[in-house]
Structure 1
Amino acid sequence: MAWRVVVGLKDDVRDARGETVRENLKRFLGIEVTSVRTLDVYTIDAALSADEVEAAAAGPLSDPVIQETAINRPLARDFDVLIEVGFRPGVTDNVGRTAREAIQYLTGRTFAEGEAVYTSTQYLIKGDVDKEQAETIAADLLANGLIQRWDIYTAQEFDREHGVPVHVPKVGGLDAEPTVRTIDLDVSDEELMRISREGMLALNLEEMKRIQTYAADPEVVAERRKYGLEAGLTDVELEALAQTWSEHCKHKIFSARIEYEDGQGGREEIDSLFKTFIVGATREVRARMGDKDICLSVFKDNAGVIRFNDDWSLCFKVETHNSPSALDPYGGALTGIVGVNRDGAGTGLGARLIFNTDVFCFASPFYDKPLPKRLLHPRRIFEGVVEGVEHGGNKSGIPTINGSIVFDDRFAGKPLVYCGTAGIMPASINGRPSHEKKAQVGDHIIMTGGRIGKDGIHGATFSS
């Protein structure tokens, strides 16, 4: 049985979150309403007793001084339209995971496999708003349709006794038996592209034909059979190649041959932007520095390392998270900053992170031109990115000490989100340079961090 715990502020407590929504409705959508109140909903899909759920509602899920709770009944009242926003199945729900941990501490027992807590938010809007306007409010202000779903109820449609129906966004099909398929690559070009498209491989025809040629090589076929493998490649192998050859992992555009026109008749061919303007520029600077070269480790570890003084080295890493931030501004930017935090900590024998920095390029938050379907408004991208970097960096205890923002309407289609971090490491540890490391046979691998959601699957297909 799934329990539904609704938590709301008491009537005499100001709802700052609701007031912000009301102001944004007027400011960004031109919709004026009388008031907006908010409720937090915890859907507990676990075998708990009524006493355990009541204890959770009164304890970790609410603050009894300023909040009231209801279990399997509504708290919503005095509204004209109710909009409930929650995550789609498989999307990471950090608050839900924290609630699950809190309930486990409270009850003294762990949740069973498949049991979980899911969160959502109810917006109680009072004013002259019809369902069509409510749909606009949900899609353009309250939710991101890529990762969230919403339900809309008018006051007349709302069930005053039971409230909004219980919705458990659980991913189905997890009990299916894993299968591995052999893919026939001895097909036409059109069929190769169908395989890429339907498999979400994001490989072009040239890449698919290269794989086709490799799979048909008699030496490759013989070697595969020697190890008991079928001659044809499997869907698992194709997926591995697609991830390795993805834009995110391979940076194909950054490494490609570029024909550049300056708009004034000048033409230039650039063989790899990366090798020319980053690796090449670094090489020239180091050559000019001569004996004063401070670079210790460049282009070979998770981050670059330079000599700070005789006792300490400085580790620095900057990367972009542009496409992820365009689709999910908060999540894309958050993973951008914590990603470079991870890289600094994992460079050499490990660095101690000391600060973050960032550069953001957006279209104007007051952009008023038509946007393609499913493209978020620059204001939403701006707000989500700033919040994501704040939560990922500052709230991890690593201060953001500087940064800049550039506004240009040409970034309406795709923002630029640069996230950077710096760390320090001793110049040497036990007589060994701390910026150097090498994996050895017999080394143990330890993976740390929170579990990821299924919303990250195929992220490398479009990242960068």
Structure 2
Amino acid sequence: DGIHGATFSSAELTDTHADEFSHAVQIGNPVTEKKLLDAILEARDHERGCLFSAITDCGAGGFSSAVGEMGEVLGAEVHLERAPLKYDGLSPTEIWISEAQERMVLAVPGDGIDALRAICEKHDVELCDLGTFGTPDRELILNYHGTEVGRMPMAFLHEGIPQTEREAVYESPPAHSPGPGRGTSPDLQTALVSLLSHPNIASKHWIIQQYDHEVQGRTMIKPLVGAHAGPSDAAVITPVEGSTRGLGIANGLATGLKDDPYLMTLAAIDECVRNLVCVGVDPTRIAILDNFCWPSCKDPRNLGSLVRAAEGCYDGAKAYRTPFISGKDSLNNQFTTEDGRTIQIPPTLLISGFGIVHDINACITMDAKSPDSVLVLIGETQPTLAGSHYAMLFGGEGDLPRVDLKRGPHTAQRVAAAIAVGLVRAAHDVSDGGMLVAAAEMAFAGGLGLALDPKAVDPDDPALLFGESPSRYLLEIAADDLNHLGEHFGETPMAVIGRFDDSGRLRLGEALDASVDDLREIWRGPLDW
């Protein structure tokens, strides 16, 4: 497995790829990966100091990219026969480019090899001395059983290949309006049921529970939380046994805004940060990763949309002070059929993030905790349904919602501070499906009823109920703490929109009266495989 994985991921798919590239898919082993990580961390924290001076993973291209990148300045000599193999009979070329998983390349001073070997043996991790960095003429030299099978100057490898120049074109998207056959507003219960059962929003428990996500992980907040297993905003683990510091892990995705990849990117970063903040992560200690999946960038329009998304990454990371520390791209996601038709995926950018929880005892979850608590909406709702799941199902006019790069980070910091001082019992971000979906999820996760206030929540305002404006949060607050909360948020938009109770029903005046248990089953049912 893992031969030509990079080639496969960069190639346009056809109906023959399943046979031609079945070997390209890497077969991972999470238990082996955990052993490897533990060994590397022990080598990093060795009593003599870190046992390695440089490290990288064997990703796309395997040894070829890992050693080729690490040896750029010094050169490197590699003995390919020393590499442990998953399969007998691999050629030198296959060894050099294999992308088999759970492998890292380390630069280790000679006097540290024995100590590193002892650590690897302790953790049942394979180790080999693959070669040395540093050659007289700054070359990359490959040997196999005493025979030289490759030699290339590092200067040529890194600086000698002409750079490709391509044309990128971007056109502003047209104003959004209802599509054919759309534009008829359903009643609130029909809309809520349709959204909760949408595959993007419905429970993913069948995926989560296929593998034990708690193996050696010391999980503090799981992907499903509350008495009735509602959708957590993020997970929290404790990487260091015995420590009260935690690591929050979350994602952000806003493909509904794909018509403007810049706004899509900002919304994804904003959602990732909100998800982390909602469990107690410090927003000043967040790092993020990008995962681009794009149709062919040989098309100037596709490349233009990619450039637009990259600009969003730059502006969003600076505004939220969330550095990109890694990422991945796959830029040729399209399929040509036997009759010559080309099917392209929509531009998609997943933002993943993790951040520091200073004290896991202060973590909170999204499930409602207590009758008589009040529900507070934080953040500004923009008067648009564009880009929302509601618009996807029923239509909706307006401009695509925009992230305010000053207000969004500020709101995240104020919510995080309110959680840190104990003002918040539960927090949930408003994203897929909008505010009414998020409120229903909080209620059924905690097994409580919720009465929304018609004076604060206009049942005839679909943008408020179902719009997916960024930078919004739902907070469960003790009624006695409302004054403190108002002082805390100051000029940040804040509205008390309802109160939890023990009725077991979600109500909004005469416009909505639904069983919370029924809503939970509707949410859980579509993917209950």
TM-score (norm 1): 0.39
TM-score (norm 2): 0.34
Relative contact order higher in (CA < 8 Å, ≥ 6 apart): 2
